[in-house]
Amino acid sequence: MREEYNTIGQILKNCRIKRKLSLEQVSNKTKISIQSLTNIENGRLDLIANKFFQKSFIKSYSKALRISDKKILLLLDGTNKAIEETNSNTNKINIEESKLKIISEKIPTIPLMIFAFFGLALVIVINFVTNSEKTNNRLADIKPKEELKISLIDDNFNNNIENIQNDVPLKQTNVNINENEIDQLNLNNNLFLKQIIAKEDVWIEIKDLEQNILISTVLKKNETFNLPNYKDNIIISASNAGALSIKNGNEKNKILGPLGTILNSVDLNSLITNH
């Protein structure tokens, strides 16, 4: 585990030095504290709160350095998965050992074997006697099923389809499109458009209920992100809720939370309702 953390930290540190960036410059870009950046570079990801913040910080750090975060996140995911599998396997082994110990203590082996032997012998004798009594019985006659006339069914089906097509003529419909009506529809859609607006630089990640990422980036001051109208439920994570506001159609902008509050996979509708 520590070896993978050291590898991740060394990759990011080497890229930062190659691009001649200081920790202060990276901190200003990512809004991540210098102490957290130092922990990442020194392979001490275990000092960061949880997996969510570990991934978020690595994504932001990689973006600030203009490098891909996929391989780095694969290293991190492999480490976390290995830890979980080790703990799971250890628990399973302990449980199985406990079960075997209980069974071996409770069940006497020799009496059980004797009982099983006599039981099996009794079943064999009963089965032999039963089969001897039924030797003169005739087997039931099984009549073969008549063949299905598949070709006849297909012909009838095709004839019915042709009759339906002849009985129901197709009708052509002309639709007149009014350009003014289209402009009015577009205006109405804009009134119900939801926008996320950044009051200052802030990291943000938005997903739908299927965990599809719609955006994962650092929004600069006064930048906006339009939420798709077809998505009813949106999950949002952010490094500073007070730096974000939402514009819901022509309503007044609403702040998503107090300054400094971290959002961790929160339902956006609940934020709009509570603030």
Question: DSSP string covering the chain, please?
Answer: -HHHHHHHHHHHHHHHHHTT--HHHHHHHH---HHHHHHHHTT-GGGSS-HHHHHHHHHHHHHHHT---HHHHHHHHHHHHHHHHHHHHHHHHHHHHHHHHHHHHHS-HHHHHHHHHHHHHHHHHHHHHHHHHTTTPPPPP-PPPPPP-HHHHHHHHHHHHHHHHHHS-------PPPHHHHHHHHHHHHHT-EEEEESS-EEEEEEETT--EEEEEEEPTT-EEEEPTT-S-EEEEES-GGGEEEEETTSPPEE-SSTTPPEEEEEHHHHHHH-
Using pLDDT thresholds of 50, 70 and 90, give the confidence band for residue 151.
low
Query: In the chain, pLDDT over 90 holds for what percent of residues?
Result: 15
Domain contains 264: yes
pLDDT at 173 over 80: no
Which one has a higher pLDDT value, 176 or 22? Answer: 22
Q: Which domain holds residue 203?
A: 189-274
Domain contains 161: no
Q: Give the residue from 80, 111, 131 where a domain finishes.
A: 80
Mean pLDDT of the chain: 75
Q: What is the mean pLDDT of residues 136-154?
A: 53
pLDDT at 247 over 60: yes
Q: What is the mean pLDDT of residues 177-204?
A: 67
Output the pLDDT for position 93. Answer: 45
Domain contains 33: yes
Which CATH number is 17's domain given? 1.10.260.40
Output the pLDDT for position 170. Answer: 46
Which one has a higher pLDDT value, 60 or 172? Answer: 60
Domain contains 150: no
Domain contains 75: yes
Domain contains 36: yes
Q: Could you tell me the sign of the dihedral formed by the alpha carbons of 190, 191, 192, 193, in that order?
A: positive
Q: What is the mean pLDDT of residues 72-77?
A: 86
pLDDT at 182 over 60: no
Domain contains 92: no
Output the pLDDT for position 20. Answer: 92
Q: Give the residue from 47, 80, 113 where a domain finishes.
A: 80
pLDDT at 193 over 80: no
Q: Give the residue from 80, 114, 130 where a domain finishes.
A: 80
Output the pLDDT for position 83. Answer: 47
- The answer to pTM > 0.75 is no
pLDDT at 234 over 90: no
pLDDT at 160 over 70: no
Domain count, the chain: 2
Q: What is the mean pLDDT of residues 97-112?
A: 60
Using pLDDT thresholds of 50, 70 and 90, give the confidence band for residue 201.
very high
Q: What is the mean pLDDT of residues 71-89?
A: 64
Domain contains 228: yes
Which one has a higher pLDDT value, 9 or 85? Answer: 9
Output the pLDDT for position 231. Answer: 63
Output the pLDDT for position 75. Answer: 85
